[in-house]
Chains A and B, each alone.
Chain A
Amino acid sequence: MKVLNKKNILTLIIILIIYAIVQVLLTNGIISSFYEITIATICINIILAVSLNLVTGFTGQFSLGHAGFMSIGAYAGALVNMEMNSNMGFLAGIAAGAVAALIVGILIGIPTLRLKGDYLAIATLGMAEIIRVLFLNMDDITNGAAGLFGIPRFTNWTWLYIFTVLTLIMIDNFIKSSQGRACISIREDEIAAESMGINTTKYKVMAFAVGAFFAGIAGALYSSYFYFINPTMFGFQKSIDILVIVVFGGLGSITGSVIAAIVLAVITTILQSYSELRMIIYALLLISIMLFRPQGLLGTKEITDFFKFGNKSAKVE
């Protein structure tokens, strides 16, 4: 299949146009530095949501510890970044963060992915808590509760966009590959998949590790944007924030996660003055989505389903 077919060229053009528009708006100050923060938050949340969606939405493994991987990426990235203090250092930090998260993902995944449903959820929650407590107590490396401050800021719109687009493309390709199909079959019916000869453990760990990898990238980007990180930022609350985005957008829809990330970031910004209500609204949102529309905004549909370009979506009929 030719890489440079009509669809891909069109996609590429759209990607470049979006980048250019936002960059111009930023440079000319039409988007103020305040809204730039919103954009950064959106991009980072997209990466987090899509990577969690891979694990929970597409492979059906309920992970409540995604923030733990983000924190590994954030700390590894920050330490390398602070050490080298250059664009190279920034990129090395992202690489370090992603790889560290990947390794931890594999290590955690192999034993815990044997568990199912609720037990897996609690086990992943427990793992994230253990990571957090460890970071809180490793004073020499992470500075404990005082956190790491003065992290050089290299994250900007360009890098954010590059990594967000890369994440979307890579995860989309993964879903559409044979490995991705194996993951989806695990979600649909694990026992059937196993009896069809699919090594479910291998693919579950793979999805988990890939999810961790991208969460690590998001974490490193985050630390280089917000100057300061401490272990409390990456607790259960953060994992819930990401979960809300994924559920709202639709467990199993990449486009859904993107849209949900944007919508929720906008709502959060509007509600900035009413933050006592924010968590209450999130809670009500979670409950009502589950009661009335458990498939979220887009279910398992993708944006390509609305523009019939002749490419099959990731649904298994």
Chain B
Amino acid sequence: MLTWFYSYMRRCDLEQFSQQIVNGISLGSIYALVALGYTMVYGIIKLINFAHGDVYMVGAYVGFAVTTFAGIGFIPALITSMAACAILGMTIEKVAYKPLRNSTRIAVLITAIGVSLLLEYGMMYFVGAQVRSYPKLLSEEVLTIGSVIIKMQQIYIVITVLVLMVILQYVVKRTKVGKAMRAVSADKDAAQLMGIKIDNTISFTFAIGSALAGAGGVLVGIYYNSIDPLMGTMPGLKAFVAAVFGGIGSIPGAMIGGLSIGMLETFVAGYGSSKLRDAAVFAFLIFVLLLKPSGLLGRDTKEKV
């Protein structure tokens, strides 16, 4: 990997390369945020929450609504959106996933697809298909190092993502709820026998994961300045690839995975062919699933008979 990087640096324009790294990091940190939600939910109930990408989209719209119509600023909008998405996530879990906790995996997956479609087309029905743009919330300044341009917004995004991740690590490693989450993740039945309230723990997991997705939505709305009801599909799938690559069930893995996928996509689009950027991510997924499905930091689970 490193030698490949070095040879590229020598062959190509170093400044262009550095700029692409900056691009990759911005894109990747957003994927990381969304991937965290996937990985946490999968870790705890072994479900690929297909609707996760759409929670991210709802977050973007909530942020849009409160900043445009209530005129509030960045941090309040972020918190509102996170809260709204947390509630949405918990509701979805209670209504659609909880009743199926003992059903086949296919059944839950199909339901998740149904929820995803409901969110997408429901939103389209209410707000229309047109793209919307956010009002100016964060500074538009740029930082120029050499000829590499870094926007202040990109820095804000990375900082926000890092802060959220640190908070998350604290919650998971240091709080009682976090411990409960880890326990349910490791062995659901044993955890229940130890007196841990499964339902609440799962709800809490969904809440956190969805809140993070909502934050991602607001950040994307500000950074790219364009939201539409179908904006969650592709990023959702790519964030899933990130979660798988990093090791599904592992929180640091999601962060690494997110950045990696962001980099991959950026470099394929920048140095390869921009038309194949989406296909490249999927091809990478298949590659990972075939070689090491547990990902970089994930655990190898043996299937018991």
Contacts and interface: CB of A to CB of B under 8 A. Distances in A.
Direct contact of A and B (CB under 8 A): yes
Interface of A: 56, 60, 62, 111-112, 114-115, 117-119, 121-123, 125-127, 129-130, 133-134, 136-137, 191-192, 236, 240, 243, 247, 251, 276-277, 279-280, 282-287, 290-291, 294
A115 B293 contact: yes
Interface of B: 46-48, 96, 99-100, 103-111, 113-118, 120-122, 124-125, 233, 237, 240, 244, 275-276, 278-279, 282-283, 285-286, 289-290, 293, 303, 305
A56 B303 CA distance: 21
A290 B105 CA distance: 11
A226 B233 CA distance: 28
B279 A118 contact: no
Contacts of B108: 290
13 contacts: A122-B237, A123-B289, A126-B283, A130-B283, A243-B110, A279-B121, A283-B122, A284-B114, A287-B96, A287-B111, A290-B103, A290-B107, A294-B104
Contact of B285 (A122, A247, A290): A122
B113 A286 contact: yes
Contact of A130 (B105, B107, B282): B282
Contacts of B237: 122, 125-126
A133 B109 contact: no
Nearest to A195: B305
A136 B104 CA distance: 36
Contacts of B103: 290, 294
Given A130-B282, A277-B125, A287 B115 contact: yes
A286 B121 CA distance: 14
Contacts of A60: 106
Given A129-B282, A286-B111, A291-B99, 16 more contacts: A117-B109, A118-B48, A122-B240, A122-B289, A126-B237, A126-B282, A133-B278, A133-B279, A137-B275, A276-B124, A277-B125, A280-B125, A285-B114, A286-B113, A290-B114, A294-B103
A134 B117 CA distance: 25
Contact of A251 (B47, B106, B286, B305): B106
Contacts of B303: 191
B99 A280 contact: no
A243 B99 CA distance: 21
A130 B279 contact: yes
A253 B209 CA distance: 37
A127 B283 CA distance: 8
Contacts of A191: 303, 305
Given A130-B283, A286-B110, A115 B121 contact: no
A282 B286 contact: no
A189 to B, nearest CB: 9
Contacts of B290: 111-112, 114-115
Contacts of A62: 105-106, 109
B288 to A, nearest CB: 10
Nearest to A56: B106
A240 B118 contact: no
Closest 6 CB pairs of A and B: A286-B114, A126-B282, A283-B117, A283-B118, A287-B114, A279-B121
